[in-house]
Amino acid sequence: MRSIISKDNHVAEDKELKLIRGCIAWKRDAQNALYERYADRMFTVCYRYSRNREDAEDTFHEGFMKVYQNIKSFRRQGSLEGWIRRIMVRTAIEKFRRQAHLYAMSRLEDHHELPHDADHDLLDRISADELLTLIRQLPPVYKMVFNLYVIEGYKHREIAEQLGITEGTSKSNLSDARAILKRKIKAEAAAGVAMYHEG
């Protein structure tokens, strides 16, 4: 049994290596195969950081061009998918920094009566798709910090370095983002209950 699993792993590794070598050689069929394998998952990553679908598509295509241009530097230390994902996230960060002057800093006062309760598991009560929709509604800075910290696992120090802000600002933005999300989740839950009773 172990030899069969080992053989399957070697076959998968050989296919991946062949795919990588094809992309390094700029072979169109290899690039298409790589795209088909990871496009859906990587678009989801880009969409989470974006204002709308068009914005996500721009980040996605820019990210894939970087993948093709830099795949020769992939040393197979970790998964190819993880390496591609990091490129997509970095591309989203770079785009955010280029457009940072377009984003007015949002303040908590702009979000009206945010709850200050200790209901920390509130975000766990909704589906991934529902959470994605709510995350995308966050102000740009909050959305970026929330994604990097909660989804990607960055430390506040790393976020501060990437976004050109202080660690304190990163922590504050994360706290504000959580508060906004909790308020939105509670509002949607209350609306759902009201609709249920009306029905």
Give the Å distances, CA to CA, from 80 to 36, 37, 46, 49: 14, 11, 17, 21
Token code pair at residue 36: 């088909």
Task: Tell me what pLDDT residue 99 has.
Answer: 80
**What is the domain count for the chain?**
2
Q: Which of 86, 102, 118 is at the close of a domain?
A: 102
Regarding whether 128 and 98 lie in a shared domain, the answer is no
Q: Which domain, by its residues, includes 152?
A: 106-199
Regarding whether 149 and 114 lie in a shared domain, the answer is yes
Regarding whether 98 and 190 lie in a shared domain, the answer is no
Regarding whether 110 and 135 lie in a shared domain, the answer is yes
pLDDT in tens, the chain (199 residues): 555 445 555 556 788 899 999 999 999 999 999 999 999 999 999 999 988 899 999 999 999 999 999 999 998 888 999 999 999 999 999 999 888 755 544 444 344 333 434 344 555 666 777 888 888 889 999 999 999 999 999 999 999 999 989 999 999 999 999 999 988 888 877 766 544 445 5
Q: What is the pTM of this model?
A: 0.77
Regarding whether 78 and 114 lie in a shared domain, the answer is no
pLDDT in tens, 108-163: 434 433 343 434 455 566 677 788 888 888 999 999 999 999 999 999 999 999 99
Regarding whether 73 and 165 lie in a shared domain, the answer is no
Give the Å distances, CA to CA, from 48 to 19, 41, 55, 132, 135: 28, 11, 10, 6, 7
CATH code: domain of residue 170: 1.10.10.10
